[in-house]
Every structure is written in structure tokens, then in C-alpha cells.
Chain A
Amino acid sequence: MPPSPKVTVAYLADLARLEITDAEVAQQERDFQDILAYVAKIGKVPATGQTLTTTISGVRHVVREDVPTPSTLADALLAVAPERRGRLIRVPVIFG
């Protein structure tokens, strides 16, 4: 089953919040179709995923208790932000 006509590179770029030039769209569209044709071979393998396998080692993600702890990294992490005001990361106005 080929993807529906609405699944274009421009549509996917929009979903991925990725600016893409007109020149890029044509090339990416060709590559996308070629790659999709190549990976279609997985359809021939009789495998059904009852439970989704997200990792191969069997190790499960372990989440620690959600308890605030002091971090010495906060200022260092703030320092790598592209724009700051004081101890805040600066962004354009979201609510007008």
C-alpha cells in the first residue's frame, strides 16, 4: 500500500517542524519514495508484534522517585541557552 497522496515531504516536514526549501522538496520526495520501496520487504516477514519491542536487551526503563534534588548543573545549563534574561530562557511572546 503506497502512502496516501497527502503524505508528501512537505506534509512530513510540517509535522517535524522542519523548514525545507522548494529545491530540497523535489530531491527529498524522490529519495523518500525510493527508500520506502526498499523497506517494503519487511512486509514479507511473518512477524506480529503483540507487545511492542522498544529495546532488545530486555532492560526496562527505571524511573526514579519524583523528588526535587539540588542540581549543580542548573546555571551551567542556562549558560548554553541561545538567549537569556536573568535566570530565564528568552522566547518570543506566546500569548499575545
Chain B
Amino acid sequence: MKTPSIIRDLAASLRNGEVTAVELLERTYQAIAAKEDRVNAFISLTREEAAAQAREIDERRQAGEILPLLAGIPCALKDVLCTRGVRTTAASRILENFVPPYDAEVVARLRREGAVFVGKTNQDEFAMGSSTEISSAGPTTNPHDASRVAGGSSGGSVAAVAAEMVPYALGTDTGGSVREPASFCGVVGLRPTYGRVSRYGVVAYASSFDQVGPVARTVEDTAIVYEAIAGPDPKDSTTLPEPVPSVLPTLNDGVRGLKVGVPKEYFTEGVDPEVSVTVRRAIDAVVNLGARATEVSLPLTDVANAVYIILTRAEASTNLARYDGIRYGRRVPAPTLEEIYRRSRGEGFGVEVKRRILLGTFALSAGYADKYYRKAAAVRREIAAEYARVFEEVDVLLGPAAPEVAFPIGEKVDDPLRMYAVDVLTVSQPVAGVPALIVPCGTAHGLPVGLQIIAAQGREDLCFRLGAAYEAVAGSQ
């Protein structure tokens, strides 16, 4: 059975001359104009650059050139990805006028594929948030219900795809920032294995967790974009050295014989019962397709969020030390160097970014680093070992991506611990470095719910294979 792909359909239309890249771009901006007032998915639109890219693609095609699949197809980029000559703010006042002199590697790779970049999407400041409310550009709303959040931190990228403004977008996922909004907005989103995708040119939050991930409306489209951006990069020495095996050839292999684990810790009383029922129905559908499901246990799930909080804040506090008002970004004039640092950072960073810098500074400070940073790093190893053990028994794990559906705007934004609690089912995978894919699996309370498909490090192929099999039957549930 052929898997649905909006990208392949658009590519076919472009190749056979039914539409030009310029026309496709015009349609995209019309869709954005119709919905952007309500959704607020973008921080900036790049009309001129996009028009030039589209014209070039049309000219090359007219000249008889055979172009890559993504050539001429519009996409959106999270504003944490550096774009040459195009303002990149990370939704922060400290970078409000920053124009990078180079492209992030993922942007460069899509550029080589002929992608047309329509704009930079909204997000939580420095990707630190779970709702896309903590942004200098204001909140992004959920395309299914404008009174609710899109999720975060890649809320703009996800909402732009869910609102059918663009066929695909790139986000980043440090602790669920692609997957939680994908679940809230009813689209497909991948967090790759740590090291699968280059972080070069990605505004850093927590370097041992950050990964760029694709967002699209179908599993195959997500796989196509994943393959376009993945692979070793000499400019990021944390990329995995081996070539990336293609996930597309096994996309239609089905799930017969696959061993599926259902972690009991993903269905505790903290998870909305309606969300649990929706996800369990999806797991039943996967079993009906021939997979074998067993209950498994990941007892450290409960502490993963604490580990995640300590390590990411520690890494953030060192990563964000670079914003000092000297070499780039916002400078608040002051008589001494020290005062420039303090005032530029004090005025440039928002309250959540400051909160994370303060906790990270504490976790790394003399007298506390052993008890917090080093201890959390040691527990991280135990969590990774726990995942490795369970993947000796099963091929993939299935569960919800978030304990609830999209919540009302403003509900948690002043209560950090309640906001962090939303991440409880999406932080242990980055802690362990394993990949996870979200596929829409129905609704609860009338709002979208995502099925989270988790595999061992390097096994994105299994995520996509199961995701494609489920997607094919999901509509008939």
C-alpha cells in the first residue's frame, strides 16, 4: 500500500508542469495571510528571499535540470536555526537584531535540495518552554482551538504545518519540543537519535540534548525530510560518524512480528484517562496489524524529568554565557565591561531563561556540583541503561507523548513546575539519546492526541515503519 505524501504529490505537480514553484509560494503566502492573525506561527516572513529561491528553481527546471524531491517546495524554519542574511532571534530580545553570517548545517542541506524557506517560526525563548507562550513575539495558538497553546517550544513550526500553511517545517527537540506540540496539534514529528543530525548553527540550549527534527502531516513526508537533514557533519563533532541507513525502503514493511513494549509508567494516574484510552486504542490497532504487545517497566521514568532539569539548566547556563553584549546580540551601553555584561543579559533575557541560568549556575557551583550536576549525569547513565535493557526484549515502545491535551493559554505560564510537568513523557528519550516519532492517533476532549513511538538508538527505521503502518489504518478507527 502506498503511504500518503504531500511532498511527493507536490513534487510530481512541479515536475509535470501543473504548478510552478513561484505559484506554489504564492499559495503558501495566501494560506499564511488567511490564518496568521489567529495562529501567530511566524516571527518573520522572508518573502523576497523565498521568491528568489522559487524563481531560481523554476528557471533550472525549465532549463531541463532534474531537481531533488524537495526542490521548489515551501517550508518553515524554527527561529533557533541560523539562516544566512536572515534575522534569527530565538524569540529573545538579546538576539532581536541578529543576522547570522552563515546557515545552520540543516538549513544548508535543505538549501542544496532546493527547498524554499518562507519564514522563521515562533517558539519559546531559546527553546526553553513547552507552550510557545514565552516568546518576544507573543504566543502561538493551537490551530484546532485558538484559546489553547500549540505546545512548545517548536510551536510555530508545528502550528504552521497543522494549519496547512506549509507542508513541512523544522523544529528542535531538547526535551520534547517537537513531539509535545506535534501531539497537541495533530501532526507527525520526529526527534532523531542524539547525534543523527548536525547541531552546527543551531542556537544552543543544552548541547548534549539538542536535536533538530522534522514536522510534517504524513509519516513519509517526515521521513523524507529526516533523510535530507541527517548524517555526519565535520562541523559538529558530536554527529555520529556512520552513514544514515535509509528509512524509506522499509516504510511499507508492516508490523507483523514486531515486538511492542507498553511502559506501565506511561499510563499512571498523572495521565489524563481520556488520553490513555485514545493511546491504548491506537496500540490495539497496531496489535491488530500483527505486532505483539507486552507490558514493560521503565522505573526511572519518574526521575527522568529531575535529571533533565538539572543537566539542561547546567548546560544552558554555560551555553548562554556567550551572550554578553560584546561580539553580537543586544548591548546595553554602560561605563564598564562588567556592567555591559550584567545589563545586556538582564534586559535581554526573559524570566524563564533567567530561571534556567540561575538553577544551572547553582547546579555547577562549588559545593553543589557533586550533589546535583554529577549525580544527575550518573542517573542519566542508569536511565540509558534501563532503555538499553528494555530494547533487548522489545523492538519499539508505545505510549502517549504528553499527559494531557493542549491546555488553555495562560494556564501554566506563571507556574514553572506545572509547565515542566508537561514534559514528563518526552524527557527520558533525550536523556537516553533514543529517537521517538509522534503520529496523530485520535482525540481526547475534542483535541488531538499523539502516539509516541520510541526505538533504540539509531533505529529511526522502526519508528517510521510502525508509524506508517498505523497511519494507514488510523483514519478507519
Contact = CB atoms under 8 A, between A and B. Distances in A.
B358 A49 contact: no
A32 B362 CA distance: 10
Contacts of B241: 59
A18 interface: yes
Given A41-B302, A41-B303, A94-B337, A18 B101 contact: no
A17 B211 CA distance: 28
B358 A32 contact: yes
B347 interface: yes
A23 B442 CA distance: 44
Given A82-B330, A94-B337, A28 B240 contact: no
B375 interface: yes
Nearest to A57: B195
Interface stretch (B16-24, B140-148, B283-291, B380-388): B380-388
A61 to B, nearest CB: 5
B330 A57 contact: no
Given A24-B351, A53-B378, A82-B331, A77 B337 contact: no
Contact of B326 (A7, A38, A82): A82
Nearest to B237: A62
On chain A, which size bracket covers the interface?
35 or more
Interface in A41-94: 41-45, 47-49, 52-57, 59-63, 73, 76-77, 79-83, 89, 91-92, 94
Interface stretch (B45-53, B67-75, B176-184, B366-374): B366-374
Contact of A45 (B208, B300, B347, B365): B300
Q: Which residue among B329, B330, B377, B432 has the maximum number of chain A CB atoms within 10 Å of its CB?
A: B377
Contacts of B330: 82
B368 A3 contact: yes
Contacts of A61: 237-238
Nearest to B325: A82
B194 to A, nearest CB: 5
Contacts of A53: 377-378, 380-381
Contact of A19 (B345, B351, B431): B345
B376 A81 contact: no
B431 A92 contact: no
Interface residues of B, number: 74
A62 to B, nearest CB: 5
B358 A38 contact: no
Interface in B241-283: 241
B310 interface: yes
Contact of B417 (A12, A38, A83): A38
B254 to A, nearest CB: 30
Contact of A91 (B99, B240, B326, B372): B326
Interface string B305-332: 0110110000001000100111111110
A92 B334 contact: yes
B431 A12 contact: no
Given A24-B354, A89-B326, A94-B337, A56 B342 contact: no
B101 A28 contact: no
A42 B195 contact: no
A20 interface: yes
Given A56-B208, A80-B101, A45 B334 contact: no
Contacts of B99: 80
A79 B358 contact: no
Given A16-B358, A35-B359, A57 B379 contact: no
**Pairs A-B, 3 closest by C-beta atoms:** A19-B346, A49-B378, A76-B101
Given A39-B372, A47-B382, 20 more contacts: A3-B362, A18-B349, A18-B357, A19-B342, A24-B351, A32-B355, A35-B417, A38-B420, A42-B375, A47-B379, A56-B380, A56-B384, A57-B433, A57-B457, A59-B240, A61-B238, A77-B327, A81-B327, A82-B326, A92-B337
Interface of B: 98-102, 193-195, 208, 237-241, 300, 302-303, 306-307, 309-310, 317, 321, 324-331, 334-338, 340-343, 345-347, 349, 351, 354-355, 357-359, 361-362, 365, 367-368, 371-372, 374-382, 384, 416-417, 420, 431-433, 457
Interface of A: 1, 3-4, 7, 9, 12-13, 15-21, 24, 27-28, 31-32, 34-36, 38-45, 47-49, 52-57, 59-63, 73, 76-77, 79-83, 89, 91-92, 94
23 contacts: A3-B368, A13-B358, A16-B361, A17-B342, A19-B347, A28-B355, A32-B359, A36-B359, A39-B306, A43-B371, A43-B375, A44-B303, A52-B374, A52-B377, A57-B193, A60-B237, A61-B237, A73-B101, A81-B327, A82-B330, A82-B331, A89-B326, A92-B340
